[in-house]
Amino acid sequence: MEQRISVITLGVADLDRSQRFYESGLGWTIGAAEGRIRFFQLNGLILALYPREELARDAGLPGEDFGSKATTLAHNTRTRKEVDDILIKAESAGGSIVKPAQEVFWGGYSGYFADPDGHLWEIAHNPFWHLDNEGNIYLNPK
């Protein structure tokens, strides 16, 4: 297996609400919509929104056993100001601030928000990593 992720799928309670949050609230652009699933083309991977009960059924799991708060998604920024700006945007779009932006133990600056379904997003500025012009992140500065 190659060391990469192709698609991250979020199980959501209300597909239309989630689409509005990412599309209208955060300003993302839908890449494709097929039936009851929505796809956002990101830099090198795809984020999908899929009704939670349908995702559970597709995975062969009972709906009540499906889901965990033990995962976070992360969006790294080029500046600390971008962290603050994105958290404000997410909250005004219907997300909730879980942890306000602050200096963190590893030397960066980050905060967390939850989308309308409770999926946790860390918004971080890591001065030790490098973001290229397309938004791809590298562990070592260039």
Question: Do 52 and 1 share a structural domain?
Answer: yes
Q: How do strand 130-131 and strand 109-114 relate by DSSP bridges? A: unpaired
With a CB cutoff of 8 Å and minimum separation 6, the contacts of 109 are 80, 83, 101, 102, 103, 124, 125
Q: What is the pLDDT of residue 31?
A: 95
Last residue of a domain, one of 31, 58, 85: 58
Which pTM was predicted? 0.85
- 84-126 per-position pLDDT tens digit: 999 999 999 999 999 999 999 989 999 999 999 989 999 999 9
Does residue 63 lie in a domain region?
Answer: no
- The mean per-residue pLDDT over the stretch 50-64 comes to 81
The letter for the amino acid at 135 is: G
Question: Do 82 and 142 share a structural domain?
Answer: yes
Does residue 1 lie in a domain region?
Answer: yes
Question: Do 81 and 54 share a structural domain?
Answer: no
Provide the domain limits for residue 38: 1-58
Does residue 66 lie in a domain region?
Answer: no
Residue 67 pLDDT level (bands cut at 50, 70, 90): low
Question: Do 54 and 76 share a structural domain?
Answer: no
Does residue 37 lie in a domain region?
Answer: yes
With a CB cutoff of 8 Å and minimum separation 6, the contacts of 59 are 66
Question: Do 87 and 142 share a structural domain?
Answer: yes
Q: Based on the structure, what is the number of domains in the chain?
A: 2
At 78, which CATH number?
A: 3.10.180.10
3-state secondary structure 43-110: CCCEEEEEEHHHHHHHHCCCHHHCCCCCCEEEEEECCHHHHHHHHHHHHHCCCEEEEEEEECCCCCEE
